């Protein structure tokens, strides 16, 4: 599991160089435009469209963004599919370990067909990033908040997060929120804490959504987009949470209650 979570962090690049001219075919859906090489099967393109629409609808509903249709007509997100990794690397100038590249402000993803993790991990994660940035713009939020939302669509992460977090509390590798909030991309790689970081990030987002509901979570995102600092936005959206410190306290209390009722070893 640890390798899987770290692999996702490592496989996507977020600074995208200008791509070379490429003769893509095109398929459109309600919220996406898929540009694909003729070497990519139409069945795969159709599956990408189906999954992308499903993930879009699921996350906007879960985060209370259904009233804001950001992605129609000319505002649709774009997914570029190269025929294979070799063509992707050549045209995009990316290293061999890269599974894709994204420019969230352009609502664009560049990638290629592959079996492992494409539909259940890579695709929902990157769509989650784009949806979040469409909702809050370029406003600064803690990395755990951004990655927690991006990972929220990945069922394996969402369902497995609680076990990982409770085990971390039990073996004392748990990262308190005040420390979690200080982690950025470079320190995450250096510290080797990706597994717990992502699990706790998803756990925090799930806690906010489950405890306060999608309307309050949507209000949080609107306040952030309006320019309110993250702590202040938390206080406005969730009345009994006055700061990120309060969030950490209540979240940890909820986890300790679950830990008391959990079996001694959580697999």
Going by C-alpha positions, the residue among 76, 71, 72, 70 that lies closest to residue 26 is 76
Residues of the chain with CATH 3.40.30.160: 2-136
- Beta strands 100-103 and 108-111, pairing class: antiparallel
pLDDT digits (tens, 9 = 90+) for 24-55: 999 999 999 999 999 999 999 999 999 999 99
Which DSSP string do the residues of 4-40 spell out, in sequence order? HHHHHHHHEESS-PPPPP---EEEE-SSEEEEE-TTS
Q: Extract the tokens encoding 92.
A: 């995009």
- How far, in Å, CA of 179 to CA of 143, rounded? 12
- How far, in Å, CA of 68 to CA of 78, rounded? 19
Residue 3 bridge partners (DSSP): none
pLDDT tens, N- to C-terminus, the chain (267 residues): 444 444 444 455 555 555 556 789 999 999 999 999 999 999 999 999 999 999 999 999 988 887 656 677 788 999 999 999 999 998 888 888 888 888 888 899 999 998 678 999 889 998 999 999 989 999 999 999 999 999 988 888 888 899 999 999 999 999 999 999 998 877 766 445 788 999 999 999 999 999 999 999 999 999 999 999 999 999 999 988 989 999 999 999 999 999 987 665 544
pLDDT digits (tens, 9 = 90+) for 102-113: 888 889 999 999
- How far, in Å, CA of 174 to CA of 196, rounded? 7
| Mean predicted lDDT score pLDDT of the chain | 86
Q: Extract the tokens encoding 251.
A: 């979240």
CATH number for the domain formed by residue range(s) 2-136: 3.40.30.160
Q: What's this model's pTM, rounded to 2 decimal places?
A: 0.85
């Amino acid at each position: 599991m640890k390798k899987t979570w770290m692999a996702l962090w490592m496989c996507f690049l977020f600074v995208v160089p200008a791509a070379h001219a490429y003769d893509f075919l095109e398929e459109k859906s309600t919220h996406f435009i898929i540009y694909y090489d003729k070497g990519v099967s139409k069945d795969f393109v159709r599956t990408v469209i189906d999954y992308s629409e499903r993930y879009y609808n699921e996350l906007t509903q879960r985060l209370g963004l259904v009233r804001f249709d950001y992605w129609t007509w000319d505002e649709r997100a774009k997914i570029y599919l190269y025929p294979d990794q070799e063509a992707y690397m050549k045209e995009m100038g990316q290293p061999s370990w890269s599974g894709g590249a994204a420019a969230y402000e352009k609502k664009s993803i560049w990638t290629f067909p592959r079996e492992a993790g494409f539909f259940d991990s890579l695709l929902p994660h990157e769509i989650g990033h784009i949806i979040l940035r469409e909702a809050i713009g370029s406003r600064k939020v803690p990395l755990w908040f951004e990655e927690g939302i991006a990972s929220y669509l990945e069922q394996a992460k969402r369902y497995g997060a609680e076990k990982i977090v409770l085990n971390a509390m039990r073996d004392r590798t748990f990262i308190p929120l005040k420390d979690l909030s200080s982690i950025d991309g470079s320190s995450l790689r250096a510290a080797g804490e990706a597994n717990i970081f992502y699990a706790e990030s998803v756990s925090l987002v799930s806690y906010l959504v489950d405890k306060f509901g999608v309307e309050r979570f949507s209000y949080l995102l609107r306040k952030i987009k309006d320019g309110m600092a993250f702590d202040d936005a938390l206080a406005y959206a969730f009345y009994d949470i006055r700061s990120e410190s309060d969030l950490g306290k209540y979240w940890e209390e909820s986890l300790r209650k679950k830990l008391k009722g959990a079996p001694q070893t959580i697999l």
